[in-house]
Homo-oligomer: A and B are copies of this chain.
């Protein structure tokens, strides 16, 4: 079931129905038909993992409309998701613009697919549902509409440049999914720490939000990549206790990441300023503290989606900080394997993830 007549674009441009010429993520409607272009792969879907913002929006919209019965809620949620996927050929919430990820089993692989997958592989997609062609065939009958994890039958298409990770056999699926969700952060942190090392001296690394998922993985990655000293900054005593118990940081400090002077002062007192500062705090307003905590010639990596581009650019300029500021690219080759290996090697990371996935 392959379409050999036309070479597929690795970005999936050939799947865009409208508007013509846009990338799949920006498109309104994709072609989700199951026939493969030569560099594509098809996945039998087991579960959608809706993005938190999208799930919340759908729930609120449905609560505003549907009858109060439990069956009414489930039916309305199913109808909402089926309506979007039916109309757009992908599960991209039109209000939030966001998607999520999916798990499933590889069903067929085109002869030119560069992804290294084989039929039967259990995988999770690491590209967003907002650009993944998707068709649902079971009417979402097994979903009660109460969880962002949606049991589902159907198929999805991976492009040549889509990314998927084979799910590891040695850890529970929810843990693996949580790790894969943030696996870009430790990979980029490791790269930047190694580059800083190349200057001759192992760097001091500060992680803002070090007791979270991306933060704890980044702390572990920094140490493995040769950091001389890892400073973990957290907002509360409870998080400080969690981080201290994990052993991932050489020094743990408590400060509000949105308070620039407090961040700078506490990082300095803990062995800073940092040569590499990693921002993993998902609240707005952390740019100034990250800039001030970083030594001249150093690097700040912003992973938080709450980062303001202009606040970072103008904040550094405003204090004449000669530092490099990176937009945290979620893709680094080998990122999934690196993150999963950190979880295997570092009991402290696993402990933090388990405490986080248990609560949420």
Interface residues in chain A, defined as those with a beta carbon under 8 Å from any beta carbon in chain B:
11, 13, 21-26, 96-99, 126-128, 130-131, 161-163, 184, 259-262, 285, 287-288, 292, 302, 305, 307-333
Contact = CB atoms under 8 A, between A and B. Distances in A.
A190 to B, nearest CB: 14
A127 B320 CA distance: 8
Given A23-B315, A97-B310, A260-B23, A325 B326 contact: yes
Contacts of A331: 316-317, 320-322
Contacts of A184: 317
A97 B285 CA distance: 13
A288 B184 CA distance: 19
22 contacts: A11-B292, A21-B260, A22-B260, A22-B288, A23-B260, A23-B319, A25-B311, A26-B311, A96-B310, A97-B308, A97-B310, A98-B314, A126-B317, A128-B314, A128-B317, A184-B317, A305-B310, A316-B331, A317-B329, A317-B330, A322-B333, A325-B327
Nearest to A312: B327
A309 B126 CA distance: 19
**Number of copies of this kind of chain in the complex:** 2
Contact of A25 (B262, B307, B314): B314
Given A22-B288, A319-B23, A320-B331, A314 B131 contact: yes
